[in-house]
Structure 1
Amino acid sequence: MDELVWERPEPPARATPAPLSRARIVETACELADSGGLEAVSLRKVAAALGAGPMRLYGYLDTKEELLDLMADAVYGEIPLPDPDTERLAALRALAHGTRTAAHRHPWFADLIGGRPGLGPNALAHLEASLAAAIGEAGVEDAMITVSTVHAYVAGAVRSELRERRLASDTGLDEEAWQRASGPYLVRMFATGRYPTLARTVYEAEHPDADTVFATGLERVLAGLTR
């Protein structure tokens, strides 16, 4: 198997008007994604932002997929890892909240987590900490299921939050404005009597903020996994 990007050495430094390194390439790509989403990232665009020719980047990585892997790993590196002696639920909780915070700081990160685990050093350290927290007195299989379940909850919740935020940005309507705009339609639909439970939920629920919803949902997931 060919060496992965994490194992390949960088080309020797060159005295040029636009010096490059893998770290600079990744940092620039992350900045482009922070301002314009993943669609703003390509090897050509990153090279242009660095003032270099696109072909020079191929000495540091082979494909855009490798660049995305490097970007995701850079964000994993921003997520604090719990101390080894942290109580297991507290560790899982901290990792979940840390992942959410990182995704809110870099919204594109939510689109890169999930599926196959990351193989970069920071992603592996995050997975190692997650499994170490989950394993406790359970077996490896149980720990894998626990980590996978918590990860699925975090990824789904964060994507939903960010989708809501993007919609508000695209339409200019925050949640309150959206509710005012859609309210008359929902009132008419509820009046048909076909959605009694939904109507009760809309009228009676407190509708807490996103932080509370995420934290409460996470606690229910953790409680279910450890029961």
Structure 2
Amino acid sequence: MVVWERPEPSSRPVPAPLSRERIVRAAIELADADGMEAVSLRKVAAALEVGPMRLYGYIETKEELLDLMVDAVHGEIRPGGDGWREALRSLAETTRKAVHRHEWFADLIGGRPQLGPHALARGEAVLAAMGGVDVDLAMPVVTAVDAYVIGAVRREIAERRAERATGMDKEQWQRTFGPYLKRKFATGRFPALSTVVHDAVHLDADETFRMGLEFVLDGIEVRISRDSRP
């Protein structure tokens, strides 16, 4: 029986009452503070001030704990809006916000299909908004948007981690490597790249994400329109 359907043990009196919800919340707090390496059944038990064996009545393995953590974050992803385009835009933006709140989520999103109740509710909400889209296109369309979002947020989180590892923010990085790029561009071997670096508008992370998302949605709209023609 999967963890979401398995009954919890009977409640025990204070000082340390437990539930899967409390266990998952404690695990998420550890991961938010110190990353996934801070999450183990032993460390979660310590945070809850109980013995590790108390947790096994609620969660049998660390993999189950990770599944529950991921599903809890899916509960923060609430697609909305009228029509498929607004629903997909909302899906993308709320997913990105969830990853920014829970950096570790970037490492787990996009793996095996998520079947927890919050993930299923998220999928139902999105597909319900795709009512005017051919049934054969609905899942590929959602998958395409998910793929864009996963790639984009993983890059953003990788940049965050690089800043922490090197101690250099974007401006410091540019000052450090700017002279090197100028020397390379001066050779004349990279004219297209030089033009983009010097002349193109440089967008911030929010603008870059939204523009890329609109590219994806525009392409989807063209395909849907084409396939809906008589």
- Using the size of structure 2 for normalisation, the TM-score is 0.92
Q: Does the alignment pair 1:175 with 2:173?
A: no
Among 182, 201, 204, which residue is 2:196 paired with?
Answer: 201
CA distance in 1, matches of 2:188, 2:55: 61
Gaps of 5+ in 2: 223-230
- Map residues 18-167 of structure 1 onto 2, 5 A cutoff: 18-82=16-80, 86-139=82-135, 141-167=136-162
CA distance in 1, matches of 2:50, 2:13: 13
Cα offsets for 1:7-36 (capped at 9, x unmatched): 001000112422211000000000000001
After TM superposition, give the deviation of residue 135 of structure 1 in Å: 4.7
Please identify, of 209-218 and 130-139, the stretch whose mean Cα deviation from structure 2 is larger.
130-139
Cα offsets for 1:149-168 (capped at 9, x unmatched): 00000011011111111111
Query: Which residue of structure 1 aligns with residue 227 of structure 2?
Result: none
Among 186, 194, 211, which residue is 1:191 paired with?
Answer: 186
CA distance in 2, matches of 1:18, 1:192: 68
Conserved? CA contact 1:134–1:147, under 8 Å:
no
CA distance in 2, matches of 1:17, 1:31: 21
CA distance in 2, matches of 1:136, 1:111: 33
SS of equivalent residue, structure 2 residue 195: helix
Gaps of 5+ in 1: none
CA distance in 1, matches of 2:150, 2:131: 21
After TM superposition, give the deviation of residue 207 of structure 1 in Å: 1.2
Q: How many residues are paired up?
A: 222
CA distance in 2, matches of 1:135, 1:67: 34
Conserved? CA contact 2:59–2:65, under 8 Å:
yes
SS of equivalent residue, structure 1 residue 107: coil
RMSD: 1.3
Conserved? CA contact 2:74–2:122, under 8 Å:
yes
Structure 1 residue runs of 4+, over 3 Å off?
none
CA distance in 2, matches of 1:71, 1:30: 6
CA distance in 1, matches of 2:191, 2:128: 45
Amino acid at match of 2:88: L
Conserved? CA contact 1:135–1:142, under 8 Å:
no
Amino acid at match of 2:28: C
Amino acid at match of 1:177: Q
Amino acid at match of 1:119: L
Conserved? CA contact 1:88–1:133, under 8 Å:
yes
Cα offsets for 1:48-83 (capped at 9, x unmatched): 111111111111011111111111111111122326
SS of equivalent residue, structure 1 residue 119: coil
